[in-house]
């Protein structure tokens, strides 16, 4: 029985994996103790991510740049004294159907306690940042942080995620967030031209649920969403869009088999995440795409159309270097910018709707001006030229 003495090759592989895991655990522990963000990023990107919630409870606040000041802003006992946020009724409706997939094997009493904590977590963030607009699916993000960090540490973490990662989706309109999605076809055009051509004309709004909720709405396994958040929190916000492009590329054969004009089947396929989900391969591919095709080098106008106040552009440096007051100021600028854009859109739409009456009125005014000039000046050809030029304008 030689294997009983020396061990099988499989046993050796298991021991090697255990040693690797042990080394990685020590590396994560050391990086957390030293606050070494660069090391944490590398560990979050590698196979298995940050391994377990014990490490994540320390590493995620470090990656997010949570400070003592942030924690002081979100004192648990005082949020109830703040004015009620206008979206709290919708928050309660969403919280009532939270924790569908995880955690499992919990008692009804335990689940109700978690829902109460989740409502208080979200409400606390909203009341302290009343300009934020809640969206359905926000609770999916918050519940992940609540389960990993606990209610106390989740307050500053969710606050920073809201203002420094998903701020564009918490404005009064989803338009700034929808602009982000147009980066996905631009990434595909660089990384897989054939696939991009096959999807040409398909608006990328199929990616909205995933982008909006940082994939928490679509991923049903707790171990997968927490591992994915290791990667997402370790990088600037735009990496989430490269990740969705990597998801599409991973299904290229399946997508290419669908007829281009079968839009319903195409959208249905693009909206669903592949099963099983090979997260490490997707992470590696999205990082490669980002390094080879950074957003400022993507073809077309998609990156230029992103507001200079968007999280995609203002959070390109490490989140640890940014504070919430700065983020709130950028939110205000983006809100004013959005209000101007919406006003222009309404005016253009109204003008388009009343185009014929406006043209008739303009022609009447111009005829009157022409008559006046002919009567007073008589420079017929000059006036006709000016009339024609004005009419074209």
The CATH superfamily of 52-346 is Ypt/Rab-GAP domain of gyp1p, domain 3 (1.10.472.80)
pLDDT of residue 87: 95
Domain extent listing, the chain: 1-51, 52-346, 354-392
Asked which of 44-58, 98-112, 163-177, 319-333 is least confident by mean pLDDT, the reply is 319-333
204 pLDDT more than 90: yes
Question: Which stretch, 74-78, 172-176, 315-319, has highest mean pLDDT?
Answer: 172-176
194 pLDDT more than 70: yes
72 pLDDT more than 70: no
| pLDDT 10s digits, 220-234 | 999 999 999 999 999
64 pLDDT more than 80: yes
Whether the predicted model's global pTM rises above the 0.75 cut: yes
Percent of residues, the chain, with pLDDT higher than 90 = 64
Q: How high does pLDDT run on average in the chain?
A: 85
| pLDDT 10s digits, 96-140 | 999 988 998 889 999 999 999 999 999 999 999 999 999 999 999
Q: 3-class secondary structure for the chain?
A: CHHHHHCCHHHHHHHHHHHHHHHHHHHHHHHHHHCCHHHHHHHHHCCCCCCCHHHHHHHHHHHHCCCHHHHHHCCHHHHHHCCCCCCHHHHHHHHCCCCCCCCCCCCHHHHHHHHHHHHHHHHHHHHHCCCCCCCCCHHHHHHHHHHHHHHHHHHHHHHHHHHHCCHHHHCCCCHHHHHHHCHHHHHHHHHCHHHHHHCCCCCHHHHHHHHHCCCCCCCCCHHHHHHHHHHHHCCCCCHHHHHHHHHHHHCHHHHHCCCCCCHHHHHHHHHCCCCCCCHHHHHHHHHHHHHHCCHHHCCCCCCCCCCCCCHHHHCCCCHHHCCHHHHHHHHHHHHHHHHHHHHHHHHHHHHHHCHHHHHHHHHHHHHHHHHHHHHHCCCHHHHHHHHHHHHHC
Residues 134-151: what's their mean pLDDT?
A: 95
pLDDT of residue 77: 47
Give 291 or 342, the one with higher predicted confidence. 291
Per-residue confidence at 210, pLDDT binned at 50, 70, 90?
A: very high
380 pLDDT more than 70: no
pLDDT of residue 104: 85
């Amino acid at each position: 029985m030689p294997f009983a003495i020396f061990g099988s090759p499989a046993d050796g592989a298991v021991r090697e994996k255990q040693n690797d895991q042990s080394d990685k655990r020590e590396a994560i522990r050391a990086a957390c103790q030293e606050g070494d963000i660069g090391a944490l990023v590398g560990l979050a990107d590698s196979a298995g991510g940050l391994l377990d919630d014990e490490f994540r409870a320390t590493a995620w606040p470090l990656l997010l740049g949570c400070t003592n000041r942030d924690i002081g802003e979100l004192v648990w006992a005082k949020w109830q004294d703040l004015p009620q946020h206008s979206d709290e009724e919708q928050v309660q409706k969403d919280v009532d159907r939270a924790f569908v997939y995880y955690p499992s094997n919990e008692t009804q009493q335990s689940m109700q306690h978690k829902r109460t904590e989740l409502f208080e977590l979200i409400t606390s963030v909203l009341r302290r940042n009343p300009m934020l607009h809640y969206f359905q699916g926000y609770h999916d993000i918050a519940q992940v942080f609540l389960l990993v960090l606990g209610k106390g540490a989740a307050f500053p973490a969710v606050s920073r995620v809201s203002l420094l990662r998903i701020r564009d989706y918490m404005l009064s309109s989803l338009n700034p967030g929808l602009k982000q999605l147009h980066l996905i076809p631009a990434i595909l055009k660089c990384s897989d031209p054939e696939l991009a051509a096959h999807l040409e004309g398909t608006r990328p709004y199929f990616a909205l649920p995933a982008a909006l909720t940082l994939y928490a709405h679509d991923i049903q396994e707790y171990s997968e969403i927490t591992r994915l958040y290791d990667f997402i929190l370790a990088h600037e916000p735009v990496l989430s869009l490269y990740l969705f492009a990597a998801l599409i590329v991973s299904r290229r054969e399946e997508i290419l088999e669908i007829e281009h004009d079968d839009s319903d089947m195409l959208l249905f396929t693009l909206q669903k995440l592949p099963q099983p989900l090979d997260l490490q391969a997707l992470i590696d591919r999205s990082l490669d795409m980002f390094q080879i095709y950074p957003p400022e080098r993507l073809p077309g106008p998609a990156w230029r159309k992103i507001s200079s106040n968007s999280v995609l552009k203002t959070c390109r440096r490490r989140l640890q270097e940014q504070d919430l007051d700065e983020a709130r100021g950028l939110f205000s600028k983006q809100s004013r910018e959005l209000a101007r854009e919406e006003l222009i859109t309404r005016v253009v739409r109204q003008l388009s709707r009343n185009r014929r009456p406006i043209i008739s009125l303009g022609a009447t005014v111009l005829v009157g001006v022409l008559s006046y000039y002919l009567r007073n000046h008589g420079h017929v050809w000059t006036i006709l030229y000016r009339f024609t030029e004005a009419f074209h304008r």
